[in-house]
């Protein structure tokens, strides 16, 4: 069992990472972070923070399609939770959740926690 989250530098991505860390700590399970690309200093900073937190964690590479990467990683890890960040939408945008988030919700092999920054 694990908790899966994507590594994104956006406010939504940071909120998702913070929530995933809390959930992993509370559930006493490993955290798996999916990096969509080599994020260089940002990725290293996240890895340093995770190492200092005492959580069991791993950082895995992705293909660039975050929704696909999160679902695949959750399946491979036997995840008990995927954590995603959602951004605020305009009234018209609220009619459509967002293709990435929608794909994750529909294809996830486990519950999905959506957080806002």
57-61 vs 31-35, strand pairing mode: parallel
In the predicted structure, residue 113 carries a pLDDT above the cut 50: yes
Please compute the mean of the pLDDT values over residues 48-60 and round it to a whole number.
Answer: 94
**CA nearest neighbour of 39 among 10, 67, 18, 19:** 10
In the predicted structure, residue 26 carries a pLDDT above the cut 80: yes
In the predicted structure, residue 58 carries a pLDDT above the cut 90: yes
Quickly state the pLDDT bin for 44 (edges 50, 70, 90): confident
- If you compute the radius of gyration of the chain from its CA atoms, what whole number of angstroms results? 13
Quickly state the pLDDT bin for 95 (edges 50, 70, 90): very low
According to the per-residue pLDDT averaged within each range, which of 8-22, 33-47, 94-108 is highest?
8-22
Cα separation, 99 vs 40, in Å, equals 27
Cα separation, 35 vs 73, in Å, equals 11
Cα separation, 74 vs 78, in Å, equals 6
Please compute the mean of the pLDDT values over residues 64-68 and round it to a whole number.
Answer: 89
Residues β-bridged to residue 4: 32, 82
Please compute the mean of the pLDDT values over residues 24-31 and round it to a whole number.
Answer: 96
**CA nearest neighbour of 57 among 36, 80, 76, 34:** 34
């Amino acid at each position: 069992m694990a908790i899966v989250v994507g590594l994104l530098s956006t406010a939504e991505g940071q909120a998702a990472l913070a929530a995933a860390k809390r959930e992993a700590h509370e559930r006493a399970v490993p955290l798996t972070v999916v990096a969509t690309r080599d994020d260089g200093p940002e990725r290293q900073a996240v890895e340093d923070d995770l190492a200092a937190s005492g959580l069991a964690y791993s950082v895995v590479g992705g293909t660039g399609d975050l929704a696909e990467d999160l679902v695949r990683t959750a399946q491979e890890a036997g995840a008990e939770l995927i954590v995603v960040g959602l951004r605020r939408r305009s009234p018209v945008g609220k009619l459509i959740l967002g293709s990435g988030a929608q794909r994750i919700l529909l294809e996830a092999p486990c519950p999905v926690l959506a957080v806002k920054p």
